[in-house]
Amino acid sequence: MQYSKAWTWQMGVIFLSMYLCLSYGQSEAQRLVVVLGQDWQSSNAQLYCLEQTQVGWNVVDQWDVKIGRNGLGWSQSPGTLGYHCPWPNSFPLDGPIKQEGDGKSPAGILFIRRQCYGYQEKAPDDFQWPYTHLTSDWIGVDDPQSLFYNRLLDQRTISQQDWQSYEVLRRKDHVYRWFLMIEHNTNPVIPGAGSCIFIHIWRNPFTATAGCTAMPEARLLQLIQWLQPESQLWLIQLPQEVYAESCADWHLPELK
């Protein structure tokens, strides 16, 4: 198969980002979130909660989730926050690339920001993470030309507002009542590579997202509680077939 120069460059960015995350110390991750789409195009996926034991990784729970309406696309800038990535990459040079507005969820080895956002003024008492109360002034900037692209911010704090488009985070529905941010395209930020990717509450079991990963509210709160003790919040999000080709090399279980 022949690859264009643009394709080769894009995949080089992906693999360089994943290679760099191997250059830091040993991972202490004990819990891992895996989301597997049925294929590259499907919006149906399964989420798995894995815990590491002395004999390897075990599945402790799993449930249905919805992902992007157009499936998955490789993240050009998977944010690892400088942590060592414990799963060496052996991905094939195949699959679409995640872009702004394409309706795809990011694929790859990603990091979940250790912070919760929500509508309530205060987080539940048993939340251990930093919590941001979303007022009507909170937005997510999705304008690739903006200096604040892919930033969540209180627009009252920005004097020079250069964006032409944004997403209101205090919505009129329940979808963002609670959410976590996936560190896709956050370090570095590549204009046009996708923005504002969350783990949030789904509208219903039948409606796909614009690129986020969504689930019932009770499951989202369960996930947050389960992850509370973990300092390194890893997310592996891939099509089922790609994960199946790599899981043995990563010493991770086969997942159906």
Confidence of residue 3 (pLDDT cuts 50, 70, 90): very low
Cα gap 15→9, rounded to integer Å:
10
CA 227/CA 31 separation, integer angstroms: 7
**Which residue type does 224 have?**
I
- Whether residue 12 is predicted with pLDDT greater than 70 in this model: the reply is no
pLDDT at 91 over 80: no
Question: Above 50 in pLDDT, residue 71?
Answer: yes
Among 35, 27, 83, which Cα is nearest to 52's? 27
Q: Does residue 20 have a pLDDT over 60?
A: no
114 pLDDT more than 50: yes
From 4, 6, 49, select the one nearest 29 (Cα to Cα). 49
Q: What's the pTM value of the predicted model, to 2 decimals?
A: 0.88
Cα distances from 81 to residues 32, 179, 194, in angstroms, run 16, 19, 18
Residue 46: its H or E element: strand 44-53
Residues 6+ apart with CB under 8 A from 71: 37, 39, 40, 41, 42, 43, 96, 104, 105, 239
Rounded CA-CA distance 239/256 in Å is: 12
pLDDT at 125: 86
pLDDT of residue 28: 66
Predicted pLDDT of residue 31: 95
Query: Which residue blocks in the chain are alpha helix, DSSP H?
Result: 5-20, 217-227, 240-250
pLDDT for the residue numbered 25: 32
Domain ranges of the chain: 15-250
- End-to-end CA gap in the chain: 29
- Higher-confidence position of 250 and 87: 250
What's the whole-number mean pLDDT along residues 173-196?
96
pLDDT-derived band at 135, boundaries 50, 70, 90: very high
Mean pLDDT, range 221-225, rounded to an integer: 96
Chain-wide mean pLDDT for the chain? Answer: 88
pLDDT of residue 78: 75
User: What is the pLDDT averaged over residues 141-167?
Assistant: 98
Is the CB of residue 211 less than 8 Å from the CB of residue 140? no
Q: For residue 126, what pLDDT is reported?
A: 85
Q: Is the pLDDT of residue 222 over 50?
A: yes
Q: What percent of the chain has pLDDT over 90?
A: 74
Question: Phi then psi for 15, rounded to 5 degrees?
Answer: -70, -35
Residue 127 makes CB contacts below 8 A (sequence gap 6+) with 116, 224, 228
